[in-house]
């Protein structure tokens, strides 16, 4: 009888011990969903992080993780201090998989589109990879929170996202009474070949939040190619480029045959915003909306 009690007590202790170990281990694992809909699980807080595009590097730095970023691309140096970081190459360079593997990172922060296959290649090598790939402003903010959760920087992530959402709400309040028929029809021109933005580009949502209407939002593709004739048929009110020097961008555009015959060109309703803003879904995405909206509707955003 005593042996039976001892046996039951011993089994109970073993069960409690195993349960405690499982709970303890579970606390060290974090799982989030990335921009491709993949479940990404990491054990512990990463100390060695690789970023494969500038916007990801910007996010990591703004989350206070600069010291944990060990490698970046050659493009990241334009907006971030990459002193002492390993440069793995260009963001679309297919040779970076081997370079990343050799660095033995705890986490790789990649991007979708051309880099989508990168995740599968790295996962085959047991390298945890989160793919940042938002289609809207809100998805950008949600994925920033996911990165914050993965990296143990949740407070910083929430502070950033709360600030962005507050700013975006204030902008929305100033635009709410503009009817759709009076909102600017905008062409976001990536190149005169002519690449534009479609519905699935986060930039389309940026235009919408700035009170504009993307004239090609009816195209599901993120970055479709259209013809000049298609643009003429849509007759945009304003055309937006992504060169750093706005005057040079406008002068360049006005030299493009056919394109300079558009109504927006004749009326000089042309603007350029640095790709560091409009091309980057990052922690300052609300500032991009702000830059656009103050150009779209300056009368509503005059400083008092």
User: pLDDT tens digit string along 151-191?
Assistant: 999 999 999 999 999 999 999 999 999 999 999 999 999 87
CATH H-level superfamily of 178-300: Nitrogenase molybdenum iron protein domain (3.40.50.1980)
**Contact yes or no for 111/15 (Cβ under 8 A):** no
**Contact yes or no for 242/288 (Cβ under 8 A):** no
On the question of a common fold for 29-158 and 178-300, the answer reads: yes
Instruction: Return the bridge partners of 109, or none.
Output: 51, 130
* pTM across the whole model: 0.88
CATH classification number, 29-158, choose in 3.40.50.2000, 3.10.440.10, 3.40.50.1980, 3.40.190.10: 3.40.50.1980
Alpha carbons 255 and 249: distance in angstroms, whole number: 10
pLDDT at 270: 97
pLDDT at 79: 95
Q: Return the number of other C-beta atoms located less than 10 Å from residue 265's C-beta.
A: 18
The helix (run of H) or strand (run of E) holding residue 165 is: helix 154-175
DSSP 254: T
Ranges in the chain, pLDDT < 70:
1-27, 91-94, 192, 303-304
pLDDT at 90: 75
pLDDT at 21: 47
Where are the domains positioned within the chain?
29-158, 178-300
């Amino acid at each position: 009888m005593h042996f039976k009690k001892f046996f039951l007590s011993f089994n109970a202790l073993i069960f409690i011990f195993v349960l405690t170990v499982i709970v303890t281990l579970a606390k060290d694992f974090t799982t989030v969903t990335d921009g491709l809909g993949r479940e990404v699980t990491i054990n512990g807080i990463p100390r060695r992080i690789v970023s494969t595009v500038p916007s990801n590097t910007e996010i990591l730095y703004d989350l206070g993780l600069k010291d944990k970023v060990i490698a970046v691309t050659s493009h990241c140096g334009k907006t971030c201090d990459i002193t002492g970081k390993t440069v793995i190459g260009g963001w679309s360079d297919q040779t970076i998989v081997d370079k990343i593997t050799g660095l033995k990172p705890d986490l790789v922060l990649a991007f979708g589109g051309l880099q989508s296959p990168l995740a599968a290649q790295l996962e085959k090598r047991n390298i945890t990879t989160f793919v940042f790939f938002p289609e809207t402003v809100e998805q950008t903010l949600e994925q920033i929170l996911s990165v914050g959760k993965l990296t143990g920087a949740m407070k910083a992530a929430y502070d950033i996202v709360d600030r962005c959402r507050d700013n975006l709400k204030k902008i929305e309040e100033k635009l709410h009474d503009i009817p759709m028929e009076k909102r600017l029809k905008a062409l976001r021109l990536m190149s005169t070949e002519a690449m534009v933005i479609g519905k699935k580009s986060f930039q389309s949502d940026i235009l919408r939040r700035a009170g504009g209407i993307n004239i090609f939002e009816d195209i599901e593709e993120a970055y479709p190619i259209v013809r000049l004739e298609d643009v003429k048929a849509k007759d945009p009110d304003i055309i937006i480029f992504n060169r750093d020097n706005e005057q040079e961008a406008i002068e360049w555009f006005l030299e493009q045959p056919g394109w300079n015959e558009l109504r927006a060109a004749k009326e000089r309703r042309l603007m350029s915003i640095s790709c560091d803003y409009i091309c980057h879904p990052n922690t300052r995405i609300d500032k991009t909306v702000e830059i656009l909206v103050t150009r779209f509707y300056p009368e509503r955003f005059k400083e008092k």
